[in-house]
Structure 1
Amino acid sequence: MTQTLIIGGYTDRDDLPVGAASGLGLYQWRDDVASLVATVPVDNPTWFEWEARRRVLYVSQSSLTTLTAVAIPGDARSARVLDVIELGAVNPAHLALAPTGDAVVAACFTEGQVVTVALAEDGSFDGVRGRVDLATERNAEPHQISFGGSGFAVPDRARDEIHRFSWAAGSAPKLRGSDPQPAGRGPRHLARHPRREDIAYLAGELDSTVTALRAGAAGFEAAGSASTLPTGYEGENSVAAVFVDAAGTLYVSNRGHDSLASFDISDPLAPRPTGHLDAGGRTPRFAGEIAPGLIASAAMDSHSVDLIRDGRSRIRIAHGAPGCVRLIDLDAREA
């Protein structure tokens, strides 16, 4: 089976390796071999989501003020920039597609804003629909949009809070409340439990923790918490990615220890550390299961992506300052 591996990374760094792909690269993925097919001229494509019905990749551009829509109407070679929208807010570090299919929502980390952009039927942007400024009273650093239930959550690193927003098709989201976390935790991303709508896992960027959360009508309530670092480690570290794989193991990436910490969540509210997987390089900004049994670890400062099959075999791809990885099937058509 031939699929398309998409890797995006920072383009504004002065240490990008000569000869390696950079920016938004599309690779043919077949029999565990990746072959570069096309690159798309997008600056700092560091997070993106694929919308299969429209056949559009929606790209957020860290440190800039724009989102880009990349159409892929045929095979990977057909990829082209469809549209660009100015957000009026700095550093959209993350975006998510609304489950209703009519918008994308961006977390603008530096500006402290959550910006909603409407989508046209052809996949282009249809203007800014809503804007919530979280930094009106004090600094805010929203880092992720995580849809679940009747709305979405936004971890805020600066305020040590998780903001909760309502969501309805065709309307702008509204802030429903903010749930405080321990001072100095630095909430970065959260991952939903794959089978329990009432449970999520929060990555604490600044204190190197993962915390199980109960999600209810009244907000997020912390349950069990665990360190992402091995006993005795004394070096610098910050946490980045968090995800649960198809087998039910929780992972969190460590930047400094440069590992993927693993946790048993057979008791879903009490993550139990089980070990550390080598991230394959320095500063794993992104890590995630991109297909069952296949984990991608994007080592930003080593300019490489390791694809780890069933926790054992590895394929390494050179790519400049990688920040996001996706594996998609361009032959699949959704109605």
Structure 2
Amino acid sequence: MSGELVAVLAVIIIALAFDYTNGFHDAANAIATSISTRALTPRVALLMAAVGNFVGAHFGADVAKTVGSGLVALPTGRDSLGIVFAGVLGAILWNLITWYFGLPSSSSHALIGGLVGATLAAAGTVLWRGIVEDVILPMILSPMVGFVLGFLFMLAVLWIFRHGHPARLNRGFRIAQTFSAAAMSIGHGMQDAAKTIGIVVLALYVGGYQDSAEHIPEWTFWASATVLALGTYAGGWRIIRTLGRKIVDLRPPEGFAAESVASAVLYFNALVLGAPISTTHTITSAIMGVGATKRLSAVRWEVAGTIVGGWILTFPAAGLMASLVYLMVRPLF
């Protein structure tokens, strides 16, 4: 077996390992609200999220192309494979740290930050225009959009059903949450499975096994979707508790509104813009916006502040970890 093939396989394996951590780290994105409102039991919610992630992965080609070819420019060869390996491993380490502390940080930005950090450590070329347009701006705008749309959508729900019987409405919205949680799960697959696909494609390209960083072999969809689904079903209870209970007390109408808004934002960015946005940022900000319709004090802003701090820290922290990993693994490549 050639050295290049071993290196390519190592990157693919570490990318799928990241995919698995992404599954249990970000499982909360799709199901925390449904569990906290008792619309779904935990295991049913996890199974739904796993299936949704699997389905959604097959619609994330544009996001995969952005990650694979729009963020860094790497020449073919084993040195570049070492950069990709280090970037993904740095993202995994950050995922594990934030999972341990129950902090719903962005796996997406950990992955991109890790890739950029390792590339900079190797004196490689970072496509800063792509980073700004496809990562930084969406990172800033998607939480703002999620918050505002969550607030407005919840106001509309409150007005439309203002004369409804509370118990009957709660039962109806619990049923509706089955569909909004499924939509959220598919949106998560569109975004997060697609990012791993982009890394695998990048590895195939710089390893010399295909001529373009934009061509996506069919098997990469199945591999990434399957591993993400398995990771999702493994669960991420620490983060589920943070999103579902610690930010704001949710009832079924609020849970439905937050999931509906977040999934719409994910779909628009994946299918229209091809932008790799954070599912974590989107659903968390939607939950905050929905909760703010009760009163501003209903949102536990100290918890929200900690989460936002994690968002800001993720990109540079994962980049720093990846750069240190690159210095350690460089002799192996």
Q: Fold match, TM over 0.5?
A: no
Which structure shows the higher helix fraction? 2
TM-score by length of 2: 0.23
TM-score by length of 1: 0.23
Which structure shows the higher strand fraction? 1
